[in-house]
Structure 1
Amino acid sequence: MLLENMTMALHAIRSNKMRSFLTMLGIIIGIASVIAIVSVGDSMRSLYADAYKNVGVNRAIVMVSWRVDDFRMSDYFTLDELDRAKEVFHDKISYMDSDAYASTEAVYGRNKVKYEFQGIDYNYTKVQPTNIIYGRELSEADVRGRRNNVVLEDKGAEQLFGTANCVGKTFRMTINKTTEEYTVVGVYRKDLSPLEAMMMGNGQTQSGFMPYTILTRPSDYFQDLNFYVKDGVDMKTFLPEIARYVAKIKGRPVTDIMTQSVVEQMGSVDSVLGGMSAAVGGIAAISLLVGGIGIMNIMMVSVTERTREIGIRKALGARTGDIMMQFLTESALMSACGGVIGILLGVGIVMIGGSAMGMVPVVKVSVIIVAVGFSALVGIFFGLYPASKAAKADPIDALRYE
Structure 2
Amino acid sequence: MLIENMKMAFSAIRINKMRSFLTMLGIIIGIGSVISIVSIGDTMRSMFADLYKEVGLTQAYISIGYWLEEVRQSDYFTLDDMERIRDVFGEEIAYMDCSSGVSANAQNGRTQVKFNYEGIDWNYQDVQPVNIVYGRYLNEADVKGRKKNVVMDTDSAMLLFGVENAVGKTFRTTIYGTTDEYTVAGVYRKEISPFQAMMMGTSEGGTALIPYTLLAWPNDYFYSIRVFAKDDVNLDVFFGQLKSYIGRLKGRNPEDYYMQTAVEEMGMMDSMMGGLSAAVGGIAAISLLVGGIGIMNIMLVSVTERTREIGIRKSLGARTRDILIQFLTESAILSACGGIIGILLGVGLVSAGGMALGVTAVIRPSVVVMAVGFSALVGVFFGIYPASKAAKKDPIDALRYE
Are 1:262 and 2:279 an aligned pair? Answer: no
Q: Whole-Å Cα distance in 1 between the matches of residues 389 and 180 of structure 2?
A: 88
Q: Whole-Å Cα distance in 2 between the matches of residues 201 and 70 of structure 1?
A: 38
Question: Does the Cα contact within 8 Å between 2:28 and 2:342 map onto a contact in 1?
Answer: yes
Q: Whole-Å Cα distance in 1 between the matches of residues 389 and 311 of structure 2?
A: 13
Q: Which residue of 1 aligns with 2:353?
A: 353
User: For residues 245-303 of structure 1, what are the alpha-carbon distances to aligned partners after superposition, in whole Å with 9 as ceiling and x for unaligned?
Assistant: 11101111122121111000000000001100000010001001100100000000000
Q: CA deviation at 1:77?
A: 0.4
Q: Which residue of 2 aligns with 1:177?
A: 177
Q: Which residue of 1 aligns with 2:307?
A: 307
Q: Whole-Å Cα distance in 2 between the matches of residues 149 and 60 of structure 1?
A: 27
List aligned pairs for 1:2-401, cutoff 5 A.
2-401=2-401
Q: Whole-Å Cα distance in 2 between the matches of residues 303 and 329 of structure 1?
A: 13
Report the AA paired with residue 182 of structure 1. Y
Q: Whole-Å Cα distance in 2 between the matches of residues 101 and 190 of structure 1?
A: 19
Q: Whole-Å Cα distance in 1 between the matches of residues 379 and 123 of structure 2?
A: 62
Q: Whole-Å Cα distance in 2 between the matches of residues 378 and 206 of structure 1?
A: 56
Q: CA deviation at 1:163?
A: 1.0
Report the AA paired with residue 200 of structure 2. M
Q: Whole-Å Cα distance in 2 between the matches of residues 72 and 97 of structure 1?
A: 21
The alignment's C-alpha RMSD in Å is: 0.9
Report the AA paired with residue 232 of structure 2. G
Question: Does the Cα contact within 8 Å between 1:47 and 1:194 map onto a contact in 2?
Answer: no
Report the AA paired with residue 125 of structure 2. T
Q: For 1:207, what is the secondary structure of its paired residue?
A: strand
Q: Whole-Å Cα distance in 2 between the matches of residues 300 and 154 of structure 1?
A: 69
Question: Does the Cα contact within 8 Å between 2:159 and 2:206 map onto a contact in 1?
Answer: no
Q: Whole-Å Cα distance in 1 between the matches of residues 51 and 204 of structure 2?
A: 21
User: For residues 338-375 of structure 1, what are the alpha-carbon distances to aligned partners after superposition, in whole Å with 9 as ceiling and x for unaligned?
Assistant: 01100111111111111112221111111111111111
Structure 1 range deviating more: 197-206 or 344-353: 197-206
Q: Whole-Å Cα distance in 2 between the matches of residues 400 and 108 of structure 1?
A: 98
TM-score by length of 2: 0.99
User: For residues 193-244 of structure 1, what are the alpha-carbon distances to aligned partners after superposition, in whole Å with 9 as ceiling and x for unaligned?
Assistant: 2221112222213222110000111111101121111121111111110111
TM-score by length of 1: 0.99
Report the AA paired with residue 206 of structure 1. G
Q: CA deviation at 1:401?
A: 0.7
Report the AA paired with residue 198 of structure 1. M
Q: Whole-Å Cα distance in 2 between the matches of residues 287 and 357 of structure 1?
A: 28
Q: Whole-Å Cα distance in 1 between the matches of residues 22 and 206 of structure 2?
A: 54
The sequence identity of aligned pairs, in percent, is 61
Q: Whole-Å Cα distance in 2 between the matches of residues 277 and 171 of structure 1?
A: 48
Structure 1 range deviating more: 292-301 or 251-260: 251-260
The alignment covers a number of residue pairs equal to 402
Q: Whole-Å Cα distance in 1 between the matches of residues 367 and 162 of structure 2?
A: 50
